[in-house]
Homo-oligomer: A and B are copies of this chain.
Amino acid sequence: MGKTDSVEQMILNIPSDLKYLGAVDAAIQDLAREFSFSSDAINDVSTALIEACSNAIEHGNRFDPAKRVVVTLRFNGQSFTACVKDEGPGFNFQAALDEKSPPDPMSERGRGLMIMKAFTDRLSFRYADGGLCVELAKHRGDDGPEE
The interface-forming segment of A21-29, A87-95, A118-126 is: A21-29
> Which chain B residue lies CB-closest to A20?
B10
A1 touches B65 (CB 8 A): yes
Q: How large is the interface on A (under 10, 10 to 19, 20 to 34, 35 or more residues)?
A: 20 to 34
How many copies, total? Answer: 2
The interface-forming segment of A11-19, A109-117, A138-146 is: A11-19
Q: Chain B residues with Cβ under 8 A from A33's Cβ?
A: 22
A65 touches B30 (CB 8 A): no
Given contacts A1-B65, A20-B31, A26-B29, 20 further A-B contacts (CB under 8 A): A2-B65, A3-B65, A7-B15, A7-B65, A10-B13, A10-B23, A11-B11, A11-B12, A12-B12, A12-B13, A13-B13, A19-B35, A23-B26, A23-B31, A23-B34, A24-B27, A25-B30, A26-B26, A26-B30, A27-B27
